[in-house]
Structure 1
C-alpha cells in the first residue's frame, strides 16, 4: 500500500490533531445541516442534557448551543481539541452551559438515562456505528434522541478502487437500509435519515483545508511523515470527487423506544 492510500489511523495521532486543530470542522457537515437535524428533535428545553461525542474543536457544537437552551457536555480524546473547544465556547458566551472535557467515546461518564440527546458528527466510526448506538442507548432517557453521521454506501455495487479504499479504512461501512436496520435492532425508532449534500464535503470540509495544508507543510518542511499525511488527505479528496455518487456521510436520527 502506498502512502496516499494509507488509512488516517496509520498516522501519528498528535500529527493528526495538530493539523485538524487549524480548521473549523474535523469532518463533513455544515451549520445548515446541524440546524436541519434539530428540526426533527422534539421536547428540548433549558433543562435538557445534551452530549456531543467526538466533538473535535466544536464547530457543530457551537451551532447546537445557538439553537438549543440546554446543558451541553462535549467529549473528545484529544486535549488540544478540547482546549480550543473551551476557548471557542467562552468567546461565544456559552461557557456557562457548554463544556468540553477530555474523554474516550467508549468509556463515557454519563449515568443511565441521563441524556435527552446524543449527538455525534463524523466520529462514531471510532468505536464503530453498531457498537456506538448500542452502548449509548442506555444513556438516553426514554424518548431521547440519537443523531449521528456515518459513512455509508449509496449503492449496492461500486468501483473496486473506492470499495477497497473504504473497506480498508472502515470495514463497517454499509448501505443506508442496513444502517437503519441496525438502529431499529438497537432499540431506536428511525425518525429521519438523509444524505449530507455535496457542499458539506467541498465547501465546509475540503476547501478550508487548502490553506491549512500549506501552513502545515511549511512548518514541517522535510518531515516525510507530515508530507505523507497531507498526500493522504489530498488523495481522499480526489477519491471523493471521483466517486461521490457511490458514498458519503448520512445523518441517522433515532428516538429511544
Structure 2
C-alpha cells in the first residue's frame, strides 16, 4: 500500500493530479483511521497504463475510455495519423534549422520560396549579406546559400573561355534588328554578358551601344575584345544592375535583352524598363517559352525547378499587350543558335571528370544538356520585337 506522496513519487505526478484522477475514477483510495489515503499496487499499475496511453497522444478522456472498455481502433488510427503529420512537420523544422546552420543542403527550401515568393526571396538573400549579383546567381544557379561560393567557383571553371552562356546566333540577332521599323541610334544591351549581341549591334547601327551587366568578369572579357578595334569604339560598358538602371528616362531608342529578362521576371522587366525607352521606341527581348501545350513530364519537372514562370508564347504575347507595348513581330530562336551554346558546352563537359567537382555545378549542367538533347522543341527561346505605346 502507498500513501499519496509515495504514489506521486513513483509515477512522477503531483498530489493534485492524483486527486483529480481519483475523482475521475481511475484510482481508488482507502481511508485509514488516521485520515491518510492509501493506494494499492493496482492503482499504481493503472497509472502506468494511463501514462503509456497518454504517450500515444490520447487525451485523458480517451485514455479513461480505453481503460474501461475495449480499445477504439478508429480513434487510435486517427491519433496515429495526427502524430505522423506532427512528426513530419517537426522533421521539416529540424531540417530547415540544420540547413540554415550550414549542416544540410538548402536547395529545396530556396526553390520552394523562389516559386511562392520570388520577390521576398531576393530581399531576404540581400539581408543575409549577399550582393545583388550573388543573390541573383544563387536564385538561378547554385540554389543553395551554404554551397554558393564553391558552386560558383566550379561553375566559372566549367564555362571559362566559352563565348556564350546561353543560346544565340548572329543571324537571329540581325533578323530581330532588321524587323524594327527604323534603325535605332541609341541601344542599351541589358545583361550583355560577354558581348556577343553588343558587338553585332555595333556593326549594324550608326550610333551608340551601351552594354550593361552586373558581372565585372564578363565585362572584362568584352573589354578585351574591344581593345584596339576601331569598329567597336561606339560601345560603352556599364557595370550595374538591370533592376535599377542608372539612366535618364527616355534615353534610348531601343532596349535589347537576349535571354536576360527572366532574371528579374519577364513581366516585371517589361514594366521596369519601359520608362527608359523613348516614345514609340522599341524593346527587343527573348524569353524561354513552351512551344508544346503538353510537354513531357521530364521537361515539365526540369523547368518547374529552373524557370517556374515559364509560359507559352501566347501567354507572353498577352502580357506584352497588357503592359503598354505593341507586339510587332515574334519568332523562335533557330536551332543553330542552340548549337552555338550547346556544342562548346558539351565538349567542355566531356573533358571534365566528376571527381574534380564537389558541388552540384557539373551535375546541374549535365542534367540541362540531357534535357536539351531529348526535349528541345517542346520549348525554346522566342524573340519578341515590341514598340512602346504612346501615352
User: Normalization by structure 1: what TM-score?
Assistant: 0.88
**Of 81, 84, 102, the match for 2:221:** 84
Which gives a bigger RCO, structure 1 or 2 (Cα 8 Å, sep 6+)? Answer: 1
Q: Distance in 1 between matches of 2:245 and 2:153?
A: 22
Paired residues for 1:1-257 under 5 Å? 8-10=141-143, 12-44=151-183, 48-202=185-339, 204-213=340-349, 217=352, 222-225=356-359, 228-257=360-389
**Ranges in structure 2 where 5+ consecutive residues have no aligned partner:** 1-104, 112-139
Equivalent residues of 1:22, 1:212 under 8 A apart: no
Tell me the alpha carbon deviations over residues 19-77 of structure 1, each in whole angstroms, 9 at most, x when there is no partner.
444111121110000010011113325xx211000010001211111111211111111
Query: 1:90/1:206 Cα in 2 relative to 1: closer, same or farther (>3 Å)?
Result: same
User: Aligned with 2:305: secondary structure?
Assistant: helix
Query: 1:94/1:103 Cα in 2 relative to 1: closer, same or farther (>3 Å)?
Result: farther
Equivalent residues of 2:199, 2:232 under 8 A apart: no
Q: Distance in 2 between matches of 1:122 and 1:20?
A: 17
Q: Distance in 2 between matches of 1:49 and 1:18?
A: 35
User: Aligned with 2:289: secondary structure?
Assistant: strand
User: Aligned with 2:230: secondary structure?
Assistant: coil
Query: 1:191/1:80 Cα in 2 relative to 1: closer, same or farther (>3 Å)?
Result: same
User: Aligned with 2:193: secondary structure?
Assistant: coil
- Point out the structure with max Rg over C-alpha: 2
Q: Distance in 1 between matches of 2:237 and 2:154?
A: 21
More helix by share: 2
Query: 1:18/1:117 Cα in 2 relative to 1: closer, same or farther (>3 Å)?
Result: farther
Q: What is the total number of aligned residue pairs between the two structures? A: 247
More strand by share: 1
Equivalent residues of 1:146, 1:253 under 8 A apart: yes
Deviation, 1:93, is 2.5
Equivalent residues of 2:155, 2:362 under 8 A apart: no
Aligned to 2:67: none
User: Aligned with 2:171: secondary structure?
Assistant: helix
User: Aligned with 1:208: secondary structure?
Assistant: helix
Deviation, 1:111, is 1.1
CA RMSD of aligned residues (A): 2.2
Q: Which deviates more from structure 2 when the two are superposed, residues 48-57 or residues 15-24?
A: 15-24
Query: 1:171/1:188 Cα in 2 relative to 1: closer, same or farther (>3 Å)?
Result: same
Deviation, 1:101, is 1.8
Query: 1:98/1:229 Cα in 2 relative to 1: closer, same or farther (>3 Å)?
Result: same
Equivalent residues of 2:286, 2:384 under 8 A apart: yes
**Ranges in structure 1 where 5+ consecutive residues have no aligned partner:** none
User: Normalization by structure 2: what TM-score?
Assistant: 0.59
Equivalent residues of 2:177, 2:183 under 8 A apart: no
Structure 1 runs (4+) deviating above 6 angstroms are none
Q: Distance in 2 between matches of 1:141 and 1:18?
A: 40
